[in-house]
Each structure stands twice: as C-alpha cells, then as structure tokens.
Amino acid sequence: MIPDALLAKARQMLERAARPLFLHDDDCDGVSCFVMCSQFCKDGTGACVKQSPTLSKMYLRKVEECGPDLIVILDKPDVEEEFFKGVSQPVLWIDHHQPRTDLVARYPNVTYLNPRVFEDADNRPTSYWTYLITRTNLWIATIGSVADWHLPDYLGEFNERYPDLLPKKYARVEDLYLDTPIGEIIKVIQFNLKGTTTDVRKSILTLTRIESPYEILMQSTPRGRFLWKKYRKLAAGYERHMEQARAAAKAPGKMLLYAYDDPDQTYTSELSNELLIRYPERVILVARLHDGKRKCSVRSHGVELPAKIAVALQGLDGRGGGHTNACGVVVAEKDWDMFYGRLTRLVEDEAKAGKGA
C-alpha cells in the first residue's frame, strides 16, 4: 500500500503544476491515468509512449518542445537513465511493475510511487493509484483497473452510478470482460489506441472530453460516435482472428498457440486476454509475425511465466518479460521454433509434475 503521505505529495505536485507533461503507456491502464490527470490539472500535454515498455531518452525532445514545469510518467515499467540525466524539472513517476528504486535513488528530483516498493504482492494498477490521488473520473478509473485485471474497491460506487454496465452477478474480474457493457468499453478504448500516432492522439484527446460512458455505448454525441466508429472498423478483424484462434484451441496440450500474420493490425494482447478467459486451464501464446520477428503475448493462470521465458530465450535473438502471469516476448523468426519448443517443454513438464504430485 502506498502511504497516504506519498499520495498527498503526488496530489500536491499535480495541483501546483501549470504546464505538466504526461508520458503514459499505450494501454487502457496508462491512458486512463492520463485522462484522470489531465482532467484534474485542467491543462497539460500528453504523449503516448508506444512500442516499448521503456521510456527512452528520445522523449527528451518532447520535454524540450513543451517546456513543462512537471513531468509525469504513468504506467511505464522502466526509464532510460539518460532521460533522467537530461531533465532538471521535478518528475512524478507512478507505476506498479517491478520497482526501480535503484534508479530513482540517484535522482532527487524524481518522486516515485509504486505499491510494490512497500509490498511486493501489491501490484494494483496505476489507474487505481491515480484515482486515489485525483479522485477524478470514476468511470475511467474503473475501466483502467478492470482492463488491467483488477477489481478496485471503488467498484461498488461505480455500480451505484452505472448499474447497467456490470453483470448482475460476478465473482472474478474475468466475469466483466466478455459480453458485458464494461467489457465493450474496454475494447473501444483499446482499439482506439491502434493506428498512426496522429490517429491515436485524436482518439485520446476525444476520450479526455467524454463525460459519460453512455456517450460511447449509445453513440449519443459526436465524440462517442467518433470512438465507436474506429472501434467497429477494427473489431471486424479482431473477431475474424478470434474465430481462428478458437479453432486452434482444439489442438491438445497445455499450451494454446495462435500464430498469425496480419500486415495491417495487431490484436495480440486483446486476443491473449480473451483466450485466457475462455480457456483458463491453458497457457496462452499469441504470436504475430512482423518485420522478421514474432511479437508475442503470453498469459496464464497459475503458471509463473518470466523465469520460463528467460530460459526459453537463452542464446536466442529475443527479449521478454513482464508480470508473473502476463508477459510480452519478441523473438526473431529464425529462432521461433527453438523458443516455442523450449517454452512448450517447460510448461508441459510443470503440468505433468503437478499431476503426479
């Protein structure tokens, strides 16, 4: 649990900022954080950090361009040290991934909020902590947390205000994902984060101006119709891939592999999340071939992934990591068969050992 004093300090930093720059992750969690912070500050510039979990030194150009009096980093697991070396402004970094206390200790201008610093098992999403800081936009805070596989303790308040967006009965966060209004809003936001930088910027700016989730679900305003139109355009491709992935699930084994080659769009993360809900006993591996590499999303319930992925990648041209049960992997196509064979053996061997115990 992040101490109240540290949450209060973060709130004070946002209150005092006249020209904040928000550098946020390119998923529902990160974008929800940006929406809340920008609405709380009523000003500032946002930049969606795509392609990499690391905030690189290339974003120093954005700092120079904007001249902010506060830099806010939202839901990014890592920051290149060259970035911190290049900024003199105060930095507020809110995250929930593997702590980087070793890095921030060298930079007194960085205020770091990460629940895992205080209790490693507490990895509640960045949007959860951002809502505690800002108390701004309950519905977007809920979307961010649920999208990151967490049932926030303010879900009851959300249900009172929007009772028709949640199912009548649910026990797990997975119960909110499929065939529910809240699950559809998550997809709307996720799919609006795809495309060119210009298109994504337009979608995020539109999202900051949405006052109610019903604008999206009912397409009752031009803003809501804009987000919905892009979502439905991309949803057709997603639904086609999901049908093919469910056919692939008929293959036996603990691993469920869906490999695809789509030159126009990636649905890897969304496909892996839905497949895990539909096939909770399997380890899900969705891999898209792009630019000579397999870009993968790996999901599981109960199988710890990072160590297995590290072993499977040894000596190969690739990288990967992430949460205990959710990881990203990039591996060269020339090494794909070796990587997949190793990971499959590790997963199957653990499954056999478990059955024999």
Question: pLDDT tens-digit profile of 117-173?
Answer: 999 999 999 999 999 999 999 999 999 999 999 999 999 999 999 999 999 999 999
Average pLDDT, the chain: 95
Q: Has residue 65 got a pLDDT over 80?
A: yes
d(Cα 113, Cα 250) in Å, to the nearest integer? Answer: 43
Q: Has residue 356 got a pLDDT over 60?
A: no
Task: Report domain extents, the chain.
Answer: 4-232, 249-356
Backbone angles phi and psi of 342, in degrees to 5: -65, -50
4-232 CATH pick, 3.40.50.11810, 3.90.1640.30, 1.10.10.60, 2.60.40.1840: 3.90.1640.30
Confidence of residue 324 (pLDDT cuts 50, 70, 90): confident
Q: Has residue 245 got a pLDDT over 90?
A: yes
Q: What share of the chain is helix, strand, coil (3-state, %, to 5)?
A: 50, 15, 35
Backbone angles phi and psi of 80, in degrees to 5: -65, 135
Nearest residue to 140 via CA among 23, 36, 270: 36
What are all long-range contacts of 151-156, with beta carbons under 8 Å and residues at least 24 apart?
Answer: 151/176, 152/124, 152/128
pLDDT per residue as tens digits for the range 182-224: 999 999 999 999 989 999 999 999 999 999 999 999 999 999 9
> In the prediction, which pLDDT does 355 show?
63
Residue 335 DSSP class: G
**Residues 6 or more apart whose Cβ sits within 8 Å of residue 105:** none
Q: In sequence order, what are the beta bridge partners of 78?
A: 54
Tell me whether domains 4-232 and 249-356 share a fold.
Answer: no
pLDDT per residue as tens digits for the range 246-273: 999 999 999 999 999 988 889 999 999 9
The residue behind tokens 């990895």 is 123
CB 126 within 8 A of CB 75: yes
Burial class (CB in 10 A: 0-12, 13-18, 19+), 140: buried
> In the prediction, which pLDDT does 10 show?
98
Q: Has residue 278 got a pLDDT over 60?
A: yes
**Class for the domain spanning 249-356:** alpha beta
